[in-house]
């Protein structure tokens, strides 16, 4: 049995602990991925949540690792049999992480979304009030992210890199330009 956690934020560590506490000694290969193989959004029209989801992009590479690492080879191999991973396994491929902690640190969503939400809350709160538009048309990517928030996101990422380095685990590397909106200095 294989369990793939998308996106992972230390899920294999928690699941292994729960299995241990429950006395489960079944052979289960567990691992996680730094992000989802595709981006998606729930469709909302006029404030009504529709029964469909839109895919925005397909990843061409993802970072993944098993817990424990002795299962790494089997875990990464099993990704070839997951439909959502086809775009990854047929393009740039899998980027093997060095530990489950590596994958947790490599999930860039908290870096991007927490900074953008906290620092962009004014725009978010005022979107349907001041601007007179449908609040469901708001997008953190289009309406909150800006060069100043990109600087904070990059600083947050560098802090995660420093923590990962201090405890001796890997982390997915991103160039500063990956955090740029316009020109960030």
With 0-12 CB in 10 A as exposed, 13-18 as middle and 19+ as buried, what is 185? exposed
Provide the whole-model pTM: 0.80
Domain's final residue, options 42, 75, 107: 107
For residue range 150-170, what is the model confidence (pLDDT) as tens digits? 999 999 999 999 999 999 999
Instruction: Assess whether 14 and 98 both reside in one domain.
Output: yes
Question: Can you tell me whether residue 80 is helix, strand or coil?
Answer: helix
For residue 183, what pLDDT is reported? Answer: 43
Our count of domains for the chain comes to 2
Q: Is the pLDDT of residue 185 over 70?
A: no
Instruction: Assess whether 72 and 120 both reside in one domain.
Output: no
End-to-end CA distance of the chain: 48
Instruction: Assess whether 11 and 92 both reside in one domain.
Output: yes
Structure-token pair, residue 60: 């061409």
Instruction: Assess whether 48 and 114 both reside in one domain.
Output: no
Whole domain around residue 18: which residue ranges?
1-107
User: For residues 11 and 140, what is the distance between their CA atoms, to the nearest angstrom?
Assistant: 26
Check if the beta carbon of residue 95 is closer than 8 Å to that of residue 63: yes
Instruction: Assess whether 96 and 143 both reside in one domain.
Output: no
| Bridge partners of residue 49, in order along the sequence | 44
Is residue 136 very low, low, confident or very high in pLDDT (cuts 50, 70, 90)? confident
Q: Is the pLDDT of residue 184 over 60?
A: no
For residue 180, what pLDDT is reported? Answer: 78
Domain's final residue, options 87, 107, 127: 107
CATH number for the domain spanning 59: value is 3.40.50.720
| Owner of token pair 């001041």 | 130
Mean of pLDDT values over 105-111 = 90
User: For residues 170 and 39, what is the distance between their CA atoms, to the nearest angstrom?
Assistant: 24
For residue 111, what pLDDT is reported? Answer: 92
Instruction: Assess whether 10 and 98 both reside in one domain.
Output: yes
Instruction: Assess whether 127 and 81 both reside in one domain.
Output: no
């Amino acid at each position: 049995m294989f369990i793939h956690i998308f996106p992972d934020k230390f899920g294999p560590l928690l699941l292994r602990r729960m299995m241990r506490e429950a006395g489960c000694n079944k052979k289960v290969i567990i691992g996680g991925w730094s992000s989802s193989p595709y981006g998606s959004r729930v469709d909302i029209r006029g404030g009504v949540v529709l029964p469909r989801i839109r895919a925005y992009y397909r990843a061409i590479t993802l970072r993944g690792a098993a817990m424990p690492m002795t299962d790494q080879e089997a875990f990464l191999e099993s990704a070839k049999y997951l439909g959502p991973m086809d775009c990854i396994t047929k393009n740039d491929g899998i980027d093997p992480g060095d530990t489950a902690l590596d994958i947790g640190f490599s999930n860039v969503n908290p870096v991007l979304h927490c900074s953008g939400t906290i620092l962009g809350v004014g725009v978010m709160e005022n979107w349907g009030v001041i601007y007179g538009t449908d609040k469901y048309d708001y997008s953190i990517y289009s309406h909150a992210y800006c060069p100043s928030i990109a600087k904070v996101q990059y600083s947050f990422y560098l802090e995660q890199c420093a923590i990962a380095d201090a405890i001796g685990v890997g982390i997915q590397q991103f160039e500063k330009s990956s955090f740029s909106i316009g020109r960030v200095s």
